[in-house]
Structure 1
């Protein structure tokens, strides 16, 4: 049954993301033009992330910050919407998570799924896949997602280790129906800004670049 669910999941991922890109292409174009006209730099932001089995791939997002933002201020993390590295258009994109839409291209290419654990950067919260504890490596047994169970349940309100616990729960309970429910819950949360930014300890999950 799990094999069948994974097969159906891939079909939904490919055709769903492909159709999605076609349907929202006018919106993508408008956003791209807005970014280009209001700030210097590329339209897209690409960054190395850890995917299935720890394989590194480049995630695609709309650029919401100034060029080389990760080398300025607080580096990888963004503590609040008032971070001066965020562009005017970027504030809107980040508040609604619309900056994540280009990841549909990652899904079409088979690097990501519509639903799954969010892919972390290669050096945080652990420096490299090999340094994750064995219990945490479980989250890498499936393709990372544009959205996931942790995004609709806790978003950025808990530490990374706590999010990984939720990710592992998703893997244990995975089925196509669960994916569909997560997708619907994600749509409802798109225009809610709670738990996007957070200021806590070093292991906290702040909104990333």
Structure 2
């Protein structure tokens, strides 16, 4: 459960820290604060379809290559045998496709090269062959309805498959380059500095990347004249308008933009719109860490590029996260019903009627919802409930309240919020709207926490950022969780939370 109870922010930190001018929620025009802090634009579906075309074509090419290899290998080993391309293939194909998918070999890339991918293809072919040989031994040397799957046959099969896969990819990449040159995708470049203009010029001169720059975005462009002929369309605040006007499919952010904070907001908005987002750093050595064929890195005419992943809520595992929330919350409410009843009786005895405490919290996209907790202290009025940060050391709290706060039992009713969908098991800490406004003024990245549902526990809490700790550090860890989200990371955080609950500190 949540182990981060309301507490006083560390002195000199949350509300008195350095503040960047013009970035607070209250500094924006009416109605702009919510839209900029919690953007929820519609996706550009055409860009999504185009981005899936190459990965699907690669899957089909590998499937055709393996089936063709099956027929060729069978005829080579037994010239009198019928040409059966599926002989032995079902033992290898599913695993090989999964290995290639996990290794990033079906990821759309800017620079297409069969030779770059050949070592990774060969390694996965060897693993698939070893699996098929082992499976063949377990099945008495036969795969159902496909005849013998002997090691010799599989070795020849995978060797021919590797050759046919390389040839198939070479042909496919040739066709893709021709299509990219004839039908380039509209592209925006963030950053009108020297690097941004050089990248835009490279895109215009090399059509094999399939990108046609239509303009540059920069809030304060430097006075450079480089002959690209591209207009500066405005700052990052016009991104959504330009994406819809030009049907932008790619957004490339370059180092040296006038306002890095606004650029970060623009990149997140571009990803939500369905654009493929790329980063081009100024440090060239950065490319040595990211340009491997199986990584998310690439290069654009020698400039290192890093692909920005999809938003967390649009990744394949997000449905699994919601299924985990529903299952865990349902099971938890049923199994803990006796504990809930005892807690309710104890609170009723300690504080009187009204055992549940309801409070407004800010959740996904800045929407306010009502969180449920067992009452540990009865505030004097609603204003105190909404604006007082710490009650952990309040002398009005009784023994029952202190025990429940120290053991986190007062958080158990939030399982109902998880079941309703207001919260998740793992996510950023939900906070009251008053403090969201205050922290948003002091820390520009604080509002970015609301890109995903809030949670009972999170990465910040399990790293000790609870109680009297820095809000800036909490926001940094929360955003790190969002940007690197995976279902396994949720499982790790839940395990670490369970361990921490064995040593409660009551913070």
**TM-score w.r.t. length of structure 1:** 0.83
The answer to whether the 8 A contact 1:116-1:145 is kept is yes
Separation in 1 of the partners of 2:416 and 2:402?
A: 23
Cα deviation, residue 189, structure 1: 1.3
The answer to whether the 8 A contact 1:119-1:145 is kept is yes
1:3-53 deviation line (CA, Å, top 9, x unaligned)? 221110000001111111001000000000111112223111110000000
Q: From the superposition, tell whether residues 29 and 79 of structure 1 become closer, same or farther in structure 2 (CA, over 3 Å).
A: closer
Separation in 2 of the partners of 1:47 and 1:147?
A: 18
Which stretch shows the higher mean deviation, 11-20 or 59-68?
59-68
Separation in 1 of the partners of 2:424 and 2:415?
A: 9
Name which one, 1 or 2, has greater alpha-carbon Rg: 2
1:121-150 deviation line (CA, Å, top 9, x unaligned)? 010153497x57552222100000011111
The answer to whether the 8 A contact 2:405-2:506 is kept is no
Alignment partner of 1:53 is 2:365: yes
Q: Tell me what 1:149 maps to.
A: 459
1:136 pairs with one of 446, 454, 458: 446
How many residue pairs end up in the alignment? 193
Separation in 1 of the partners of 2:422 and 2:355?
A: 21
The answer to whether the 8 A contact 1:41-1:66 is kept is no
2:322 pairs with one of 2, 7, 10: 10
Q: Tell me what 2:129 maps to.
A: none
Separation in 2 of the partners of 1:175 and 1:192?
A: 27
* Structure 2 residue matching 1:77: 3-state secondary structure: coil
Separation in 1 of the partners of 2:430 and 2:483?
A: 18
Alignment partner of 1:42 is 2:364: no
The answer to whether the 8 A contact 1:14-1:107 is kept is yes
Q: From the superposition, tell whether residues 65 and 79 of structure 1 become closer, same or farther in structure 2 (CA, over 3 Å).
A: closer
Separation in 2 of the partners of 1:112 and 1:126?
A: 20
1:54-109 deviation line (CA, Å, top 9, x unaligned)? 00000111101124376569x6232644x212122110011111111110000000
Q: From the superposition, tell whether residues 128 and 168 of structure 1 become closer, same or farther in structure 2 (CA, over 3 Å).
A: closer
Q: From the superposition, tell whether residues 68 and 192 of structure 1 become closer, same or farther in structure 2 (CA, over 3 Å).
A: farther
Aligned Cα root-mean-square deviation (Å): 2.4
Separation in 2 of the partners of 1:125 and 1:193?
A: 26
Separation in 2 of the partners of 1:42 and 1:79?
A: 18
Q: From the superposition, tell whether residues 72 and 87 of structure 1 become closer, same or farther in structure 2 (CA, over 3 Å).
A: farther
Cα deviation, residue 193, structure 1: 3.5
**TM-score w.r.t. length of structure 2:** 0.36
* Structure 1 residue matching 2:433: 3-state secondary structure: coil
Alignment partner of 1:184 is 2:495: yes
Separation in 2 of the partners of 1:39 and 1:79?
A: 15
Q: From the superposition, tell whether residues 143 and 25 of structure 1 become closer, same or farther in structure 2 (CA, over 3 Å).
A: same
Q: Tell me what 1:165 maps to.
A: 476
Cα deviation, residue 191, structure 1: 3.8
What residue ranges of structure 1 are gaps of 5+ in the alignment? Answer: 197-209
Q: From the superposition, tell whether residues 56 and 132 of structure 1 become closer, same or farther in structure 2 (CA, over 3 Å).
A: farther
Q: From the superposition, tell whether residues 72 and 140 of structure 1 become closer, same or farther in structure 2 (CA, over 3 Å).
A: closer
Q: Tell me what 2:374 maps to.
A: 62
Deviating beyond 6 angstroms after TM superposition, the runs of 4 or more aligned structure 1 residues are none
The answer to whether the 8 A contact 1:116-1:146 is kept is yes
Which stretch shows the higher mean deviation, 62-71 or 47-56?
62-71
Q: From the superposition, tell whether residues 77 and 133 of structure 1 become closer, same or farther in structure 2 (CA, over 3 Å).
A: closer
